Structure 1
Amino acid sequence: MAETGKENPYGGRFGILRRIDDWIFNIEMGILWTFLGVSAIMVFLDVMYRRLAAPDSKVAELAARIFGVESPEGIERLTAIGPKASAVIGVALVYFAFWTAEEHAAEPGKQSRIKPILETIFASAGLGLLGWIMVRPDVESRWFYLLLYSLCAGFWLFNLFRERGPDLAAKLVSFLVVTAIYVYITLKYFPDGYSWSKELSLIMLLWVGFLGASVCAHEGKHIQVGALKRVVPPSMSRWMDALGFVFTAAFCFFMAMLGYEYAKEALTLEGRFEQTNIPDWVATIAVPAAFAMTSIRYIAAAFSSIMGGSYGAAPEDESIAAAAAQAAEEGAKG
């Protein structure tokens, strides 16, 4: 692990381990963002598909209640108008979103009136095209989700290559890994239709929750008790941090072993989810995998703390340590 105050975290004896850890972190972040985005889109498309395929209109029912329409002719008329009114309201909301973004992004007096209109036209046309594809019986949902993923991935890659950050290679590797996982799950387990989103979303959110613990360990974002560290002599501070990391690593290892036993039992039973036919162990294996990675990271944080590094430290502690090291370096030069 890099020592405190050093700008290059990959220097020293453990530089290669830190690099591997950062690459794993990028893959975890890719899985987190992808699973969160896919879960949200799945639930949204599930609701949207039910509305597009349903013969009734919720807008018509609401309007009938508000205006007290009870006659069959009036309800039928409202049912015919409902989808059109919903479309108009949707376009208006899209325009309001783009108009608000333009008002906040542009400098005062330089806001464009045409840009939000053009963006609304293209966005509404795109959403309309996607809705038309959804209701076509000859288009399976897996291909529709692959189309959406391709569009989002293309936009993300465009921004990635335009910025060309220092972690470009790591992000590309994580993108390839996440894409391979997503394509495999989509082609093998996505059933037809759109009414199964709840089941797969729960599996993805389970992975998001436990991988989030591992990500927080990498970033030092977990809750840490710093009261004891403040009452011990400064020379013992790093040892107290290391002791806390070791205890946390032991707890995570214990949870990983429990999760392993549970996942092994699920693998033996060969159970599957009802709608997607995904094996039960795909969900349960998230527990031992995430806790094992978290345990390894806390062990690394303990070694880093003993050696005077900042891996796994809380962001404020890391910034304080870096500032102290910089002040000491400037004092030595002076």
Structure 2
Amino acid sequence: MTSKKDFSPQNIVRILQKLEDGILIGLLLLMIFIAVLQIFLRNLFNSGILWGDPLVRVLVLWIGLIGAMVASRNDHHISIDVLSRYLPDQIKKLSHLMISLFTTMVCAVMAYYSIVFVIMEKDAGLIAFATIPTWVCESIIPVSFAIISFRYLIFFFTGLNKLFKRISQ
């Protein structure tokens, strides 16, 4: 029997984070395995897996975008914060809010246009490798940008909530 605690938001988030981590690790191991297998087959048998190199390229795309999703869950994206080091705390918090909102908007636009792109690729009916359509390989693009956008929207509203709580006190 499951309790209400099993379905708490914290547990669901923790499960989703472990799922993200597991997918990232699994894809990285698969990419390393395919790349090493290709090297082994080429050097010892003068052959290789015909679709091995395209698969590795697609795995690099997936690993990069899932890695960006993982980085976004704790707001650990690359940032240039030369100015923020010299700003007063209140202005620094406000600038972080604006950066979160800007990141939300940019990633939402990227998600939208990447959906348009994936639909165009599906309509074109192209094959990436083996029998895998290109749109399947590229489907991680809108998914990852949508998730990153959603996370930064949460960061924005969380920061806004903290800012209003401080002002009202």
TM over 0.5: yes
Change (3 A) 1:49 1:241: same
Alignment map for 1:70-85 (pairs within 5 Å): none
1:38 and 2:38 correspond? no
Instruction: Give structure 1 regions of 4+ aligned residues with deviation exceeding 3 angstroms.
Output: 18-22, 234-237
Q: Within 2, Cα distance between the matches of 1:46 and 1:302?
A: 45
Count residues with an aligned counterpart: 155
- Matched with 2:166 is none
- Contact 2:58–2:137, Cα closer than 8 Å, also in 1: yes
Which of 83, 87, 93 in structure 2 is aligned with 1:231?
87
Q: Within 2, Cα distance between the matches of 1:201 and 1:223?
A: 25
Which of 44, 59, 83 in structure 2 is aligned with 1:52?
44
Change (3 A) 1:229 1:243: farther
1:196 and 2:79 correspond? no
User: Which letter maps to 2:33?
Assistant: I
1:260 and 2:143 correspond? no
Deviation at 1:237, TM superposition (A): 3.8
Counterpart of 2:131 in 1: which secondary structure? coil
Which of 136, 148, 167 in structure 2 is aligned with 1:282?
136
1:271 and 2:145 correspond? no
User: Which letter maps to 1:29?
Assistant: D
- Contact 1:229–1:240, Cα closer than 8 Å, also in 2: no
Deviations, residues 144-203 of structure 1 (Å, cap 9, x unaligned) = xxxxxxxxxxxxxxxxxxxxxxxxxxxxxxxxxxxxxxxxxxxxxxxxx73421111111
Q: Within 2, Cα distance between the matches of 1:195 and 1:295?
A: 37
Alignment map for 1:103-182 (pairs within 5 Å): none
Of structures 1 and 2, the larger Rg is shown by 1
Change (3 A) 1:260 1:52: same
1:249 and 2:69 correspond? no
Identity fraction in percent: 23
Unaligned runs of 5+ in 1: 1-14, 55-192, 310-334
Counterpart of 1:273 in 2: which secondary structure? strand
Change (3 A) 1:269 1:46: same
Which of 156, 159, 166 in structure 2 is aligned with 1:302?
156
Counterpart of 1:307 in 2: which secondary structure? helix
- Contact 1:46–1:195, Cα closer than 8 Å, also in 2: no
Change (3 A) 1:307 1:196: same
1:240 and 2:95 correspond? yes
User: Which letter maps to 1:256?
Assistant: A
252-261 vs 194-203, greater mean Cα deviation = 194-203
Q: TM-score, normalised by structure 1?
A: 0.42
Q: TM-score, normalised by structure 2?
A: 0.79
